[in-house]
Amino acid sequence: MPDKLSTYRAKRNFQRTAEPKGRRAPSNKAPSALRFVVQKHAARRLHYDLRLELNGVFKSWAVTRGPSVDPADKRLAVEVEDHPLEYGDFEGTIPAGQYGGGTVQLWDRGHWQPLTVPADQALRAGELKFLLEGERLHGSWVLVRIKHDRSGGKRNNWLLIKHRDEAADPAHAAALLEQDRSVASGRSMAEITAGIGKSPKPFMQAGARALKAAAVWQPRASAKVTMPRVAMPRFIEPQLATLLEHPPAGAAWVHEIKLDGYRLQLRTERQHTRVLTRSGLDWSGKFPEIARAAGALPDCIVDGEVVALTPKNVPSFADLQAALSEQNTARLTFFAFDLLFLEGADLRPLPLLDRKQRLEALLSSRKLESIRYLEHFDANGERVLKSACEMELEGIVSKRRDAPYTSGRGGAWTKAKCRAGHEVVIGGYTFRDGTLRALLVGVHRDRKLIYVGRVGTGFGQRVLKPLQAALRPLTIERSPFTGTEAPKAARDIRWVKPELVAEIEFAGWTDSGMVRQAAFKGLRQDKPADSVQAERPSQLRQADVPDIGTRTRNKTMADNGDEILGVRISQPTKALWPDAGDGRAVSKLDLAHYYEAIGDSMIAHIEGRPCSLVRAPDGIGRQSFFQRHAMAGQSELFELIRVSGDRKPYLALGSTAALIAAAQSAALELHPWNCAPHEPEVPQRLVFDLDPAPDVDFAAVITAALELRTRLEQLGLAAFCKTTGGKGLHVVTPLVGRRDRLDWSAAKTFAQAVCARMAEDDPARFVINMAKKERTGRIFLDYLRNDRMATAVAPLSPRARAGAPVSMPLNWPQVRTGLDPAKFTVRTAPALLARNRPWQDYAKAAQSLRAAIARFTRAPAVATSRSPRVRKAYHRAGKRRS
């Protein structure tokens, strides 16, 4: 067996240098997790040595200017001799005159995973993609060998490049390399040179630690992952394709047949499979055969499409509709084209071809009749599209071969069609002699249903009867359409609730925006009606193609993205609010800039606290969801907080960059706990929500806030006011927190008693009963925000409501007649915040809740309160000792 370390040993005199000699390395070794180190090396010139464990040794490169987390930087990496694994614990000074003489610092270390497999073959081929998970370096990287050394020498030169992912951080790339503390000993380069300070903690003998990146690719037959298991997501929003007139050209793309069916996601866990639609609905009962077949798979999430094949093996949407209507689904086929999760590993960060390779291996080892792998083609896209059209297929989908899986619509997936097709919303129909003649259809624009024409053909007997049955119970009196071309009421027209989505084929759009020669294909039950918008093909230029691993600043397409504080904003022009009161939409990029502008002011109120996000990926009025816990694939800028009694960690945002990452995930609202930072069990503020009934004027809410302020100040508490972004106001009281040694029960009881006293003093104006029938003409004093897991919208948080309002902190002189909460929006708040500087003394104003309770219980009003329960609770709270 050849000694891989012979070159290393020949260059060193181990009588003079403390570098490890190293044991004879085996030719092949497959540890559970591969390790890496980066050593800062002050030799003749300062450089950084990157070492990747492979086959029992460290493959090593001298990176002249250090690894950069800016994807735009291509750093020269000179390949050097293999080093022994023991070198991963070496930190010290190599004597002058010896090879590499100078100080060596352990600048970073951790684990790595190859994305191009097998790794040794990738190195021989000259391109190795890999993931790092270290103390300082994270995410996806690539080493690319330079074919010809310009100097004519014999050096084996490479380029080290950071891929564009959530770990990329161009804004802080230089500052990262300036960090001068060893990750193993905490020593600076000067301290190491002087031989002072602690010895480095061992790493190479410490055993493999948990890896947070991706899995090592195993042989194709098993396709197993070796990383520790992580929680399987309940649902992953699918990646969508952008419609183009022509498929993209170039070797960066592969092409798949566009299937004419239902997009589905197979989620198999412990041999139980759920079949989910593109919006997350559980359709397992509609496709029982596919669900049973997928039960033979290991724990995984597979993306694909279910189709009905004709005798010519061409997908038919009409046949699929018929099969579902007749509940005859045994002959349907699920074509799998992506693998998102496998046996505890989230595979979405991996390049497309790596995911497909795993998927093919997974399915080829199991003969599942109803589940098939969808092949891709490396040929020219135009030729693939032409062939698809000749076979009477719908078109093709083109995908970037090296792109990660990204939910939503972006430029890494595109589609080109052989014939025009679209989804439309049915808002009415015409009839004759009781039989449907044509559908009246529209699409959504700015939350209105715009009429786009009639669909008059395609109603075979097999689909006509169930279609009429579906329309009949939806009859309404008035037209749901808007637009200049919308039809007027007539004797032969029936209007219906715009809830059904139809798939159509048509010859194109007229100049006035109507569909031409439209034919009905079937109903789509997998897509909500309010998500249907007009989709028109666009041109894709080479400059518009997102380049994985390099910086792209082109703003001509929504998917190219912008960067703010190192966070890439994908689809920056996507409208999240259609209008912020100035006639302009608020885009995702606008939201990110807003968070950047107010970040320092907001962070003080949310840092270190569990924070729930209201996310609306497609903007207000579309589907939204509430996220409390960590999710797979989320930004590493988000912090995690463990809460007693809950196995899942909660999200927390601790920096302006984290706020921008929240904007990237379309987090339109932030709702933190009211606890002390990093202490979920300690109340540190009270929030009183003044919520008026619809018939209460806002002036009455202003008066109530001023009265509540007076009551709190009489109890020795400071009070601050903010708008809610809605029709009410919040009065907020900062507390000293841990020093009081009071729990959430005391905080909630106190808040309830204060509100109860206000309601008792003036029952005509205030109520503490949530029942709507009790609230008419009065203001609901909501004390329920003051429980352990309760949240309140954060100061300066936007709201997912029309007009893009924010919850705006106010100075008390602003809380007066004429106050208009609607003027505080994402567009206006930053300038108003800088001008008025509200809540400047908030942190210094914290007071003792225990003292306030004592004052409250001594007050005469408690003794005469009409609520025995409140009196009893407050005498008990005043004596409580946690």
What percent of the chain has pLDDT above 90? 45
Residues 792/671, Cβ–Cβ less than 8 Å: yes
Asked whether residue 419 carries a pLDDT value surpassing 80, the answer given is no
Average pLDDT over residues 218-232: 46
Asked whether residue 228 carries a pLDDT value surpassing 60, the answer given is no
Give the pLDDT score at 402: 82
* Cα–Cα–Cα angle for 632, 633, 635, rounded to 5 degrees: 120
Structure tokens at 27: 């030719």
As a whole number of angstroms, the distance between CA 471 and CA 34 comes to: 60
Give the pLDDT score at 117: 62
Q: Hey, what CATH topology would domain 562-673 get? A: DNA primase, PRIM domain (3.90.920)
Asked whether residue 585 carries a pLDDT value surpassing 60, the answer given is yes
Query: Residue holding tokens 């129909």?
Result: 429
Handedness of CA 573, 575, 579, 580 (dihedral sign): negative
Average pLDDT of every residue of the chain = 84
As a whole number of angstroms, the distance between CA 196 and CA 180 comes to: 15
Give the pLDDT score at 394: 82
Asked whether residue 719 carries a pLDDT value surpassing 50, the answer given is yes
Report pLDDT digits (tens) over 808-823.
999 999 999 999 999 9
Residues 709/640, Cβ–Cβ less than 8 Å: no
Give the pLDDT score at 673: 95
Give CA 873 to chain center in angstroms. Answer: 44
Handedness of CA 401, 403, 408, 409 (dihedral sign): negative
Query: Could you tell me which of 70, 244, 235, 229 has the C-alpha nearest to residue 161?
Result: 70
Average pLDDT over residues 60-87: 92
- What are residue 567's DSSP bridge partners? 564
As a whole number of angstroms, the distance between CA 9 and CA 418 comes to: 64
The residues that are catalytic are 258
As a whole number of angstroms, the distance between CA 319 and CA 340 comes to: 29
- What are residue 547's DSSP bridge partners? none
Structure tokens at 128: 């190795």
CATH topology match: 562-673 vs 680-790+808-879: yes
Give the pLDDT score at 551: 27
Residues 545/556, Cβ–Cβ less than 8 Å: no
> Residue 359, SS3?
helix
Element spanning 470, H or E: helix 461-471
Listed range (98-112, 449-463, 586-600, 695-709) with the worst mean pLDDT: 449-463
As a whole number of angstroms, the distance between CA 605 and CA 24 comes to: 57
Give the pLDDT score at 879: 45
As a whole number of angstroms, the distance between CA 184 and CA 99 comes to: 24
Query: Residue holding tokens 């950047």?
Result: 596
Give the pLDDT score at 860: 56
Asked whether residue 446 carries a pLDDT value surpassing 90, the answer given is no
Average pLDDT over residues 253-267: 91
Asked whether residue 185 carries a pLDDT value surpassing 50, the answer given is yes
DSSP designation for 175: H
Give the pLDDT score at 645: 83
Give the pLDDT score at 44: 85
Asked whether residue 741 carries a pLDDT value surpassing 90, the answer given is no
Asked whether residue 540 carries a pLDDT value surpassing 60, the answer given is no
Confidence of residue 533 (pLDDT cuts 50, 70, 90): confident
Asked whether residue 476 carries a pLDDT value surpassing 70, the answer given is yes
Query: Could you tell me which of 36, 41, 47, 114 has the C-alpha nearest to residue 77?
Result: 47
Average pLDDT over residues 521-525: 83
Give the pLDDT score at 384: 86
Report pLDDT digits (tens) over 648-683.
889 999 888 889 999 999 999 999 999 999 899 999
Give the pLDDT score at 511: 63
Report pLDDT digits (tens) over 830-870.
988 888 889 988 989 999 999 999 999 886 554 334 444 44
Give the pLDDT score at 536: 59
Give the pLDDT score at 535: 66
Cα-Cα end-to-end distance for the chain: 69
Confidence of residue 213 (pLDDT cuts 50, 70, 90): very low
Average pLDDT over residues 382-390: 82
Residues 125/60, Cβ–Cβ less than 8 Å: no
Confidence of residue 633 (pLDDT cuts 50, 70, 90): low
Listed range (7-16, 144-153, 393-402, 810-819) with the worst mean pLDDT: 144-153
Give the pLDDT score at 870: 46
Distances (CA, A) of 637 to 174, 325, 653, 655, 657: 19, 47, 8, 8, 7
Residues 254/352, Cβ–Cβ less than 8 Å: yes
What percent of the chain has pLDDT above 70? 88
Confidence of residue 876 (pLDDT cuts 50, 70, 90): low
With a CB cutoff of 8 Å and minimum separation 6, the contacts of 632 are: 230, 231, 232, 233, 236, 341, 346, 348
Asked whether residue 552 carries a pLDDT value surpassing 70, the answer given is no
Asked whether residue 504 carries a pLDDT value surpassing 90, the answer given is no
Paired sense of beta strands 448-455 and 501-505, if any? unpaired
Q: Is the peptide bond before 118 cis (omega within 30 degrees of 0)?
A: yes
Of 566 and 220, which is predicted with more confidence? 566
As a whole number of angstroms, the distance between CA 39 and CA 557 comes to: 41
> Each residue of 111-143: b (16+ CB within 10 Å) or e?
bbbbbbbebeebbeeeebbbbbbbebbbbbbbb
Of 410 and 34, which is predicted with more confidence? 34
In CATH, 680-790+808-879 is 3.20.20.120: no
Average pLDDT over residues 734-740: 90
Give the pLDDT score at 537: 54
Paired sense of beta strands 253-257 and 675-676, if any? unpaired
Give the pLDDT score at 877: 47
As a whole number of angstroms, the distance between CA 712 and CA 477 comes to: 53
> Each residue of 351-370: b (16+ CB within 10 Å) or e?
bbbbbbbbbbbbbeeeebeb
As a whole number of angstroms, the distance between CA 87 and CA 606 comes to: 43
As a whole number of angstroms, the distance between CA 696 and CA 777 comes to: 6
DSSP per-residue codes, 111-148: EEEESSSSHHHHHHHTEEEEEEEESS-EEEEEEEE-SS
Structure tokens at 302: 């597979």
Asked whether residue 878 carries a pLDDT value surpassing 70, the answer given is no
Query: Could you tell me which of 263, 398, 285 has the C-alpha nearest to residue 336?
Result: 263
Average pLDDT over residues 784-792: 92
Q: How many CA atoms lie within 13 A of 874 on its CB side?
A: 29
DSSP designation for 53: E
Q: Where are the domains of the chain?
A: 6-194, 239-415, 421-527, 562-673, 680-790+808-879
Listed range (184-198, 280-294, 368-382, 797-811) with the worst mean pLDDT: 368-382
Residues 521/458, Cβ–Cβ less than 8 Å: yes
As a whole number of angstroms, the distance between CA 38 and CA 141 comes to: 14
Report pLDDT digits (tens) over 395-405.
899 998 888 89
In CATH, 421-527 is 2.160.10.10: no
Return the CATH number of the domain spanning residue range 239-415. Answer: 3.30.470.30
Query: Could you tell me which of 345, 302, 110, 343 has the C-alpha nearest to residue 214?
Result: 345
As a whole number of angstroms, the distance between CA 749 and CA 114 comes to: 56
- The letter for the amino acid at 750 is F
As a whole number of angstroms, the distance between CA 260 and CA 317 comes to: 6
R_g of the chain computed on alpha carbons:
32
Structure tokens at 758: 């206000």
Residues 101/77, Cβ–Cβ less than 8 Å: no
As a whole number of angstroms, the distance between CA 471 and CA 494 comes to: 10
Asked whether residue 57 carries a pLDDT value surpassing 90, the answer given is yes
Average pLDDT over residues 588-596: 92
